[in-house]
Amino acid sequence: MSELVLINVSGRDKPGLTSEITGIMGRYNVRILDIGQAVIHDHLTWGILIEIPDESTSSPVIRDLLFRLHALDLQVHFAPITEAEYQAWAAGRNRACYIVTLLSRDLQAEQIARVSAITARHGLNIDNITRLSARPSLNVADNRIACVEFSVRGTPEDLGRLRSDFLQIAGEMNVDIAFQEDSIFRRNRRLVVFDMDSTLIEAEVIDELAREAGVGDQVAEITERAMQGELDFSQSFAERLALLRGLDESVLQGIAERLRMTEGAEHLIRTLKGLGYRTAILSGGFTYFARHLQQKLGIDYVHANELEIENGKVTGRVSGQIVDGKRKAELLLEIARKEHISTEQVIAVGDGANDLPMLSKAGLGVAFRAKPLVKESARHAISTLGLDAILYLIGFRESETVPE
């Protein structure tokens, strides 16, 4: 009869260890059922579950491994596994797998403790923990970025409650926590669509135009109520536009040139382009400024509102159909069809209530530095880090480089 043995090895990492250990096993026709390894600060933790085909060879295998590992100054532990234990464990591997991504400026033990406590409370077991961000310097306190990814397995009874629990502790600890199914689509996104104002750029362009027109306070108040979801977007948009009537066309270029990109936006777009992603701006703002960003960043598609200008003056109207929340969702689907991309492979990013329809259509919808209503309604939210934190949600490691 065969025998199942779990072997755990730890100690200082050295080149060739895996070859040496499995080479000994190979002499006895050992079958490998599972294997895993992690190295932290040159310290190795290595585990392997093996099936020894004949009980008579069990002792020689263990003896040879023990002698060699001792010579290599490694600690080893052997544990017999019954067939019933193995079958129960293997069956559990077929349960749903999810990814929990913890995003923070600085990784703290309490964050790990509270995230793992929630996964345990909802019946999820942690398979792997991987750091995706670079290791921090001990001397630099500014611009820190920390990201840890948990691979968890199980069947939570209430996904809504689970997400709510994550959202609550995220607010309490000033971190972001994303929870998503670990499907083939997560690793094969192909299209990212962005809102523009307060997402790709830090400003609301219509507020910038209003300041130039001398109606800044009036327009800003309407904008804020619309972003909070208190006003219908199309109605509020028309009201704000009307206040811009008579503004000189010459001010548009100056506004476009002084627009500040959101933290991480340029790095994100550059990386996405290097990975072959298609990108789009779907904005309730204006095409004049969206085209400016398109040229600067290399965005593939732009859909926004065409600011109507007559005799060098803003008329207070737009040409064509208003790009509101409903239209953004329609445009997302249109671009996906044109590019032959499943909606599960689409990422949508926005901050306002009028972005919720497109966030709900995408396989990964991200509320970025969003208002409370939007943050609570979206499946994923990023508030702590820059826009390039989205790369971590698709499993990108900071150590990886992408050609520009």
Active site residues: 195, 197
Question: Cβ distance 147 to 131 under 8 Å?
Answer: yes
Residue type for position 361: K
